[in-house]
Amino acid sequence: MICVQPSREPELFRTAASPYRDRMDPFWRDAERHLIRYGGGWTPEIIERAEGSFVHTATGRRVLDFTSGQMSAILGHSHPEIVATVRRQVGTLDHLFSGMLSRPVVDLARRLAESLPAPLSKAMLLTTGAESNEAAIRMAKLVTGRHEVVAFARSWHGMTQAAAAATYSAGHQGYGPNAPGNLAIPVPNPYRPDFTAPDGTFDWRRQLDHGFAMVDAQSTGSLAACIVEPILSSGGVIEPPPGYLAALAGKCRERGMLLIVDEAQTGLCRTGTWYAFERDGIVPDILTLSKTLGAGLPLAAVVTSEEIERRAHERGYLFYTTHVSDPLVAAVGNTVLDVLERDKLDARARELGDHLRAGLLSIKDRHPAVGDVRGRGLMQGLELSTVDGDALGGRITRRCLELGLHLNVVQLPGMGGTFRIAPPLTATPQELTLGLEILDQAIGDTAG
Is residue 229 annotated as a catalytic residue, yes or no?
Answer: yes
Cα Rg, the chain, nearest whole Å = 22
Give dist(CA 80, CA 152) in Å, integer: 38
- Pick the catalytic residue: 89, 207, 265, 380? 265
Is residue 28 annotated as a catalytic residue, yes or no?
Answer: no
- Pick the catalytic residue: 28, 42, 156, 274? 156
Is residue 265 annotated as a catalytic residue, yes or no?
Answer: yes
What is the helix (H) or strand (E) element at residue 30, kind and residue range?
Answer: helix 26-34
Contact, 258 vs 367, CB < 8 A? no
Give dist(CA 158, CA 308) in Å, integer: 23
Closest CA to 418 of 446, 389, 438: 389
What is the helix (H) or strand (E) element at residue 120, kind and residue range?
Answer: strand 120-126
Amino acid in position 153: A
β-pair type (258-262, 286-289)? parallel
Is residue 445 annotated as a catalytic residue, yes or no?
Answer: no
Is residue 262 annotated as a catalytic residue, yes or no?
Answer: yes
- Pick the catalytic residue: 134, 148, 229, 239? 229
Residues 6+ apart with CB under 8 A from 109: 122, 123, 125, 301
Q: DSSP per residue over 331-391, as a string?
A: HHHHHHHHHHHHTTHHHHHHHHHHHHHHHHHHHHHH-TTEEEEEEETTEEEEEE-STTHHH
- Pick the catalytic residue: 141, 291, 395, 398? 291
Q: DSSP per residue over 280-317, as a string?
A: GT---SEEEE-GGGTTTSS-EEEEEEHHHHHHHHHTT-
> Within a 13 Å sphere around the CA of 365, how many CA atoms are in the beta-carbon half?
6
Closest CA to 230 of 250, 252, 245: 245
SS3 content of the chain, % helix, strand, coil (to 5): 40, 15, 45
- Residue 154 to residues 63, 237, 350, Cα–Cα distance (Å): 30, 10, 26
- Pick the catalytic residue: 279, 374, 420, 431? 420
Contact, 149 vs 225, CB < 8 A? yes
Q: DSSP per residue over 422-448, as a string?
A: ---TT--HHHHHHHHHHHHHHHHHHH-
Is residue 420 annotated as a catalytic residue, yes or no?
Answer: yes
Which positions are catalytic? 156, 229, 262, 265, 291, 420
